Amino acid sequence: MSFPGGYQGKVLRVNLTEKTFSEETLSREVARKFVGGAGFGIKYLFDEVDPGIDALSPENKLIFASGPLSGTSTPCASRMAITTKSPLTGAVGMSLTGGYFPVELKFAGYDVLIIEGKADKPTYLAIQPGKVAFRSAEHLWGMNTFDTQEVLKGELVDQGYRIACIGPAGENLSRIAAIINERRAAGRKGVGAVMGSKNLKAVAVRGNKAVSVADNTAFNEAKKEMLKSMKDSPVLYSEMSNLGTPMVVEATCGLGIFPAKNWSATGQWEPVQELGIAANNSRRTGREHCYMCPVACSQMKLVREGPYAGAMSVPEFESMYCFGGQTGVDNIDSIIAADRLCDELGLDTMSAGVTVGFAMELYEKGIITQEETGGIELNFGNHQGMVALIKQMAFRQGFGDVLADGVRLAAKKIGRGSEKYAMHVKGLELPGYDVRGAKAHGLAFATAYTGADHNRGYAFQEIFGIPIPKAVDRFAIEGKGWLTKWNQDVRTATCDCPTMCAFLLDMAVPATATENSARLLTAVTGFAFTPEEVYQVGERVNNLARVYNVRAGFSRNDDSLPERIMTEPLAAGGSKGSYISREELSTMLDEYYAERDWTKDGLPTPEKLIELGLDEAVAFVAGEVEAAAAKEGN
Amino acid sequence: MSFPGGYQGKVLRVNLTEKTFSEETLSREVARKFVGGAGFGIKYLFDEVDPGIDALSPENKLIFASGPLSGTSTPCASRMAITTKSPLTGAVGMSLTGGYFPVELKFAGYDVLIIEGKADKPTYLAIQPGKVAFRSAEHLWGMNTFDTQEVLKGELVDQGYRIACIGPAGENLSRIAAIINERRAAGRKGVGAVMGSKNLKAVAVRGNKAVSVADNTAFNEAKKEMLKSMKDSPVLYSEMSNLGTPMVVEATCGLGIFPAKNWSATGQWEPVQELGIAANNSRRTGREHCYMCPVACSQMKLVREGPYAGAMSVPEFESMYCFGGQTGVDNIDSIIAADRLCDELGLDTMSAGVTVGFAMELYEKGIITQEETGGIELNFGNHQGMVALIKQMAFRQGFGDVLADGVRLAAKKIGRGSEKYAMHVKGLELPGYDVRGAKAHGLAFATAYTGADHNRGYAFQEIFGIPIPKAVDRFAIEGKGWLTKWNQDVRTATCDCPTMCAFLLDMAVPATATENSARLLTAVTGFAFTPEEVYQVGERVNNLARVYNVRAGFSRNDDSLPERIMTEPLAAGGSKGSYISREELSTMLDEYYAERDWTKDGLPTPEKLIELGLDEAVAFVAGEVEAAAAKEGN
């Protein structure tokens, strides 16, 4: 019996310590229950990686997984999850990327690539169907990610290879290091540091195997419906194809939630003219497609004049807030240069930018001095200082070494009360939304299994006013537990697992996301999915990730927000006066846990896990639940 | 009857003004007489481009041509000449490049690509067999050469395209702009500015046609002999594969001819420790191959520490002298960074470096001030100033605009006696040999049809002491006319036309170069070449180039050297006391012209041209000869 459509049916397991590899058959049950992508990553992480290990030890694993839609002609499905225990948060680290590598891995015959152990010296993998070559990467060590890809294509004498690699940041074990493929990043949670800790510079992959589809007629029908939804979207082609995510600068400034000066001045300083649509479009020079994507949201920006002339990058909204607003920098050219530098050096733009903004606030407040920064001036708005620091962070030079692991560890090293200005949840730096004016979004940051992650439950209802599944008041507390669960589970189920670009959920099929996914998954895999089953996949994956984090020591206390968000009301702008008090957060958490059928301490119950078919997880919470009950009884 | 082996038999002519293209049959006679590469380029230039035109006008043409060996399995034959009227010298501009583009053009079915006219807006060409697409390059305008190649491969949805392109320097009509393909450059004589003047950002080419060989048995035999010569070379694999050209730093310092501080301190400052083999190897991180090259002389250098960390490049010896010795910079990391910057921005490293060194001497002498440089400190040795200026030159920013067209035009703009420090011949900046201690090399600089060009008659006899065709005294004058003709004609015939890497001539087959080429060319093309005929090809091409230059207004007066070389004896080092006086140069020129059967004014005679089968050139010199005779009679 052949494997379901969409899957190649194979897991490639590579052991860097032993320099061995093996092919395993993908379990049909795992495929049915976890679909792919983040689902596969979290399932394998749960089963194989002890949450107690040091994330940068050889015991950690890196799990690359695309979903069943990847490599088919489904539009916007060239996505891949990279899952590991995060060295930045200590929790599940799951980061998604697009481009071409994800489908090339499928074309090479693999749904999942699991990388174990640690090479004794810098190594790269060259993967073809049924073959893995372990090759020295000593010559590539220290090389930027763009050069690495170019050099490897030459070295492998086949320009068709697709390559995921780390830059100096990952090699230097920066806990905010990214993995870069083409011009795209699996940016967050330090996945690049894990790759660096394994002495793995790059994975090059070249395939030639098509991805089959179980029912072509149904698939064509499903695709047609999806393409129609995309065309009907009021924003997908008209806005995303031409503006990309930077258009969110306007939206967030309009709501008074564009973070300014390390969240100290949100609503008071809204550089729309400098960083918004018009400014972005003045630097726009085209766009890039992921495989089989008709939208092409990646907007290439090129600086043609001034001191940053020649810098080219595809900065997202997140680059505008992290190198812009929240550092007080309104020089868009420097933001493009900083974004490019991070891609080359393999640093997560968001964490890097927030960390620079954090240092700027310390500098402004006199907590750190120019002597400490090695002469770099770090006032808010100093773009030269920002660009200089980014490079130092990747190479761990000078003051950059203090900042290279993100705000939480930097605050720990600096001390002097600096933790107060470290904007993170569970160690992951905050995305570009001041959640004091978007409270479900704040709850999502507090509860996402990856830390403050805008992509694990994006509250588009609050940010864009989309009334799906219902209209919400962004300042309200009530109902946000329910909404956050919905946002998390739907996004996990319809984007992170199948795998599919999240923008389609937000912009094309918000109302019919589970139906759309059910149709596509059924047609492609031949498994009969109902929309309800799709939704349940999201719930299943979020529950399993939660149990993993519980095993790693996380509890309700960690479902929190930075002190500033909980104590300082916004002083001006469209969300003036608003904040998420500790009590409000607590109320929202209560509702959220209840909606999830978790205990008041945020523990999945055995019953819930069994309902979701997660029998493997029960043992890990049973004791915890009793202990919690005993504690409540006290 | 099919065309001779080695050739595809087709010339692709593209008119950018009309957006048209046509295929022409390559003339068998042209193939037999000019072989390929530079021979084809100069022949088409002579026939089609009026020497009186402005080189940056639409009337100029860009002629890309590989030779018959390119695309066969001949090792080291992936070379291509780009010929045009040079905007830097006003003379024949011919620049060679290697890598993969040259063979891909052959695989696309073309021996020659002639680009005419001027596009009305930024354009790139996508060439496949029988097809030329004219595509907008407006989005690529301002983009660096590495990004341009990466973006185009994506845009053309085929990573196998090979791309030759310009950077901002070429767009901004810098007369020292290069054309870059992969990591290689057709660097000199401003070929990039001609491309820019045509609004042509890039040529992308993708082929699938094999290159045939007339006699496989003979070819295999010829190849075997050549590979044996290569193996027998005492330096080719042992040195070039591991050290590359930077090993010449030691050699030139040993002879006291490594140019220092704009030729003001040659012999007095020899930074062997800082820029020589050991220093280079401390940054070495691998090597790159051209197509079918077993040598791989391109040594990748990567900076892993300090302010230039992350910079990666393949600097040749020429980068060591131009960004090193002659600017007084001994920081090898900054040289790697400068080299990389030039490749990205599409500037010729040599001309750019010499121009910076020129500005440094003016700065040191107080001829220009810090105010004039826009605040950049430009003392000899200031590597930060050097790197900053390079970027400004490519973008024509600030003082960079003054320097962007090389030393001759910069001296003209600056005035104040600065021409005295402008080290060039015919406008082309001097290569990395202080010819005061290598006089045939000096004569080659003075007489090369391209200006001061070390690759048009490299006196390896003087630099490396190789006694082929005979031992020479590098300080002697006598015999240098003869030697220079030999060096020029042999190199043209055995390298620039077939096309073949020049290093093989210097290092593997110096004694049997014409025999080696005759064997290979006969086997590949089926034309029966004798060694004497091969030699004559070189003579023919050099004569035709000379007539072109005569038509462009060049005469004996232009076969000169910079004033410093002719008036200032070297003050120290291995060539202490030596210089090439005006009288010495005159004596050498007399001998050289006599050896060439040219008049005392350096004009080819009608008899010589007819002997060489250059009937098409006779009309252009007949009048000149009479006029010269009349003048002499006065």
Name the one residue in this structure whose structure tokens are 């503006």.
Answer: A243
Give the N- to C-terminal CA distance of chain B in Å, as an integer: 56
Q: How far apart are CA B222 and CA A196, in angstroms?
A: 48
Instruction: Round the average pLDDT of chain B to a whole number and report it.
Output: 96
Q: Residue A283's closest chain B neighbor by CA? A: B139
Q: Which chain B residues touch A135 with a CB distance below 8 Å?
A: none
Closest by alpha carbon to A100, among A314, A313, A299, A292? A292
Confidence of residue B624 (pLDDT cuts 50, 70, 90): low
Test B309 with A397 for CB contact under 8 angstroms.
yes
DSSP A347: B
Q: What local confidence, expressed as pLDDT, does residue A391 receive? A: 98
Interchain contact, B305 vs A395, CB within 8 Å: yes
| Contact between B151 and A286 using a beta-carbon 8 Å cutoff | yes
Secondary structure element (H or E) that encloses residue A28, with its range: helix A28-34
Cα B299 to Cα B282: distance, rounded to the nearest angstrom: 12
> Does A394 lie at the interface with B, CB-CB under 8 angstroms?
yes
Most A CBs within 10 Å, among B100, B138, B147, to test the A interface? B147
pLDDT digits (tens, 9 = 90+) for B464-487: 999 999 999 999 999 999 999 999
Q: Which of A139, A305, A397 minimises the CB distance to B285?
A: A139
| SS3 annotation, B612-623 | CCCHHHHHHHHH
Mean per-residue pLDDT for B598-618? Answer: 97
**pLDDT score recorded for residue B623:** 74
**Contact status of B357 with chain A (Cβ, < 8 Å):** no
Q: Whole-angstrom distance between the N-terminal and C-terminal Cα of chain A?
A: 57
> Does residue A130 belong to the interface with chain B, where contact is any CB pair within 8 Å?
no
- The CB density around residue B11, as the number of other CB atoms within 10 Å, is 21
Closest approach of A289 to chain B, Cα-based (Å): 8
* Rounded Cα distance, B377 and A42, in Å: 56
Please write the tens of the pLDDT for every residue from B363-405: 999 999 999 999 999 999 999 999 999 999 999 999 999 999 9
Six-digit token string for B53: 């035109």
- For Cα atoms A481, A483, A486, give the angle at the middle one, nearest 5 degrees: 110
CB B210 within 8 A of CB B73: no
Kindly state the DSSP code that residue A26 receives in the 8-state scheme: P
- How many Cα atoms sit within 13 Å of A566 on the Cβ side? 18
d(CA A388, nearest CA chain B) in Å: 10
Least CB–CB distance from A285: residue in B139, B154, B159: B139
pLDDT digits (tens, 9 = 90+) for B99-142: 999 999 999 999 999 999 999 999 999 999 999 999 999 999 99
Chain A residues inside the 8 Å CB shell of B309 = 142, 168, 391, 395, 397
Q: Which residue has the tokens 């420790």?
A: B273
Please indicate if any CB of chain A lies within 8 Å of the CB of B144.
yes
Which chain A residue shows the shortest CA-CA distance from B396?
A305
- Residue A623 is predicted with a pLDDT of 75
Task: Give B554-598 pLDDT, tens digit per residue.
Answer: 999 999 999 999 999 999 999 999 999 999 999 999 999 999 999
Is it the case that residue B633 has pLDDT exceeding 60?
Answer: no
Which residue is closest to B167 within chain A, CA to CA?
Answer: A310
- The alpha-carbon gap from B258 to the nearest alpha carbon of chain A, in Å, equals 30
In a mutagenesis test of the B interface, which of A78, A145, A159 is the best target, namely the one with the most B β-carbons within 10 Å?
A: A159
A302 touches chain B (CB under 8 A): yes
Residue contact B310–A160, C-beta within 8 A = no
Q: At what angle do helices A480-491 and A582-595 cross, to 10 degrees?
A: 60
Q: Could you tell me which chain A residue has the CA closest to the CA of B149?
A: A150
User: Structure pTM?
Assistant: 0.96
Buried-exposed string B324-347: b where 16+ CB fall within 10 A, e elsewhere? bbbbbbbbbbbbbbbbbbbbbbbb
Regions of chain A short of the pLDDT cut 70: 1, 624-634
* Phi and psi angles of residue A174, each rounded to the nearest 5 degrees, phi first: -60, 125
> Which among A139, A161, A345 is the top mutation candidate for probing chain B, defined by the most B β-carbons within 10 Å of its own β-carbon?
A139
CB-based contact B386:B334 (threshold 8 Å): yes
Q: Is B286 on the interface with A (CB under 8 A)?
A: yes
Asked if A143 lies within 8 A of B285 by C-beta distance, the reply is yes
Report pLDDT for B1.
Answer: 46
Contact A304/B at CB under 8 A = yes
Q: Do A286 and B144 touch (CB under 8 A)?
A: no
Chain Cα centroid distance, residue B212: 28
Contacts of A159 in chain B (CB under 8 A): 153, 159-160
Does the pLDDT of residue B632 top 60, yes or no? Answer: no
- A-chain CB neighbours of B286 within 8 Å are 139-140, 151
- Cα torsion angle, A394, A399, A401, A406, sign: negative
Non-local CB neighbours of A265 within 8 Å, separated by 6+ positions: A328, A571
User: Cis omega before residue B469 (within 30°)?
Assistant: yes
Contact B276, B253 (CB under 8 A): yes
Q: Strand A123-128 relative to strand A200-205: parallel, antiparallel, unpaired?
A: parallel
Residue A389 structure tokens: 């620091």
Q: What is the pLDDT of residues B277-309, one digit of tens each?
A: 999 999 999 999 999 999 999 999 999 999 999
Q: Which of B159, B309, B345 sits opposite A310 (nearest CB)?
A: B345
pLDDT at B536: 98
Note the pLDDT tens digit of each residue in B167-186.
Answer: 999 999 999 999 999 999 99
Query: Which tokens is B211 given?
Result: 């290159």
Alpha carbon distance B403, B355 (integer Å): 7
Residues of chain B with C-beta less than 8 angstroms from the C-beta of A300: 139, 151
Residue B634 has pLDDT above 50, yes or no: no
d(CA B143, nearest CA chain A) in Å:
6
To the nearest 10°, the Cα dihedral for A73, A78, A84, A87? -170
What are the phi and psi torsion angles at B62 (to 5°)?
-115, 120
On chain A, the residues whose CB falls within 8 A of the CB of B147 are 312
Residues of A in contact with B142 (CB under 8 A): 285, 302-304, 309-310
List of chain A residues whose C-beta atoms are within 8 Å of the C-beta of residue B143? 285, 302, 310, 312
Residue B205 forms beta bridges with which residues? B127, B162
Instruction: Please report the pLDDT score of residue A117 as a whole number.
Output: 98
Q: Would you say residue B161 has pLDDT above 90?
A: yes
Residues from chain B contacting residue A140 (CB–CB below 8 Å): 285-286
Tokens at residue B20, please?
């048209």
Task: Answer yes or no: is pLDDT of B317 > 60.
Answer: yes
Does residue A390 belong to the interface with chain B, where contact is any CB pair within 8 Å?
no
Pairs from B126-129 (Cβ < 8 Å, separation ≥ 24): B126/B156, B126/B161, B126/B204, B126/B205, B126/B206, B127/B12, B127/B203, B127/B204, B127/B205, B127/B206, B128/B205, B128/B206, B128/B207, B129/B207, B129/B208, B129/B209
Please answer whether residues B462 and B439 qualify as being in contact, where contact means their C-beta atoms are separated by less than 8 angstroms: yes
Enumerate residues 158 to 197 of chain B having a beta carbon within 8 A of any beta carbon in chain A: 159-160, 168, 182-183
DSSP E strands, A187-317: 200-205, 284-288, 298-302, 312-313
DSSP-derived 3-state class of residue A15: strand
Where do we find the tokens 């004497």?
A: B532
pLDDT at B479: 98
Neighbouring C-alpha atoms within 13 Å toward the C-beta of A594: 11
A40 conformational bin, left if phi > 0, alpha if psi -120 to 50, beta if neither = alpha
Q: CA of B333, closest CA in chain A: separation in Å?
A: 14
| Cβ-defined contact of A142 to B168 (cutoff 8 Å) | no
- In whole angstroms, give the CA distance from residue B148 to residue B216: 39
Search chain B and give the residue with CA nearest A301: B139
Q: In this predicted structure, what is the pLDDT of residue B627?
A: 61
pLDDT, position A634: 45
Domain annotation for chain B: domains and CATH numbers: 10-205 (3.60.9.10), 246-429 (1.10.569.10), 438-633 (1.10.599.10)
CA distance A74 to B621: 69
Contact A443, A478 (CB under 8 A): no
Burial of B234 per CB tally in 10 Å (0-12, 13-18, 19+): exposed
Chain-chain contact of A151 with B288 (C-beta, under 8 angstroms): yes
Burial class (CB in 10 A: 0-12, 13-18, 19+), B576: middle
CA A332 to chain centre: 24
Residues in chain A within 8 Å Cβ distance of B303: 142
